[in-house]
Amino acid sequence: MLPLLLVSLGILYVNRSLDFETSPKYFLSIECSRKGSSSLSDMTTIVVNITDINEHRPRFPKDLYSVRVLENAFVGDVVLTVSATDEDGPLNSAITYSLVGGNQLGHFDIHPKKGELQVAKALDWEQVSHVGGAQSELIRAE
């Protein structure tokens, strides 16, 4: 059932909640007729464009990614590519990735659009092992 309703005064009301992600556009056929005389009538079409609002946040498919990198990896090597999804329409689903934790030594960098985690500085297992043996990065999608 359509969430839009036309009443006899010719006023179009929202009858049920709208959802851009399900139905971004409606083509409504409207007829006007004189009571008791169906031959005297006319038709028109109303196109209703629903505007998307940003109500979904981007989400990573996993809470944790694990990857092994050799310490002789080159600067610029892509270690991992992450990809988040956002259920909103194109205007409200652009995703930006950023490193927000765990990168104290500046060894990694993330491409803000592609989600590619890259080696930004020569890795040194002995140096990193002093701070716990492994480095974990916190990546945010927004």
What are the residues binding Ca ion (CB under 5 A)?
20, 52, 54-56, 86, 88, 92
For residue 58, which amino acid is it? P
- Cα separation, 28 vs 45, in Å, equals 5
Distances (CA, A) of 113 to 62, 110, 121: 18, 9, 20
Q: Is the Cβ of residue 50 or residue 99 nearer to Ca ion in the bound state?
A: 50
Nearest approach in angstroms of CB 37 to Ca ion is 45
Counting runs of H as helices and runs of E as strands, what totals does the chain give? 1, 9
Q: Is the Cβ of residue 23 or residue 129 nearer to Ca ion in the bound state?
A: 23
Nearest approach in angstroms of CB 82 to Ca ion is 17
- Cα separation, 21 vs 52, in Å, equals 8
**In the complex, which residue's CB is closest to Ca ion?**
88
- Cα separation, 49 vs 27, in Å, equals 9
Q: Is the Cβ of residue 52 or residue 109 nearer to Ca ion in the bound state?
A: 52
Q: Is the Cβ of residue 84 or residue 123 nearer to Ca ion in the bound state?
A: 84
Nearest approach in angstroms of CB 18 to Ca ion is 10
Token pair of 136 as six digits: 């974990």
Nearest approach in angstroms of CB 22 to Ca ion is 10
Q: Phi/psi at 34 (nearest 5 deg)?
A: -85, 135
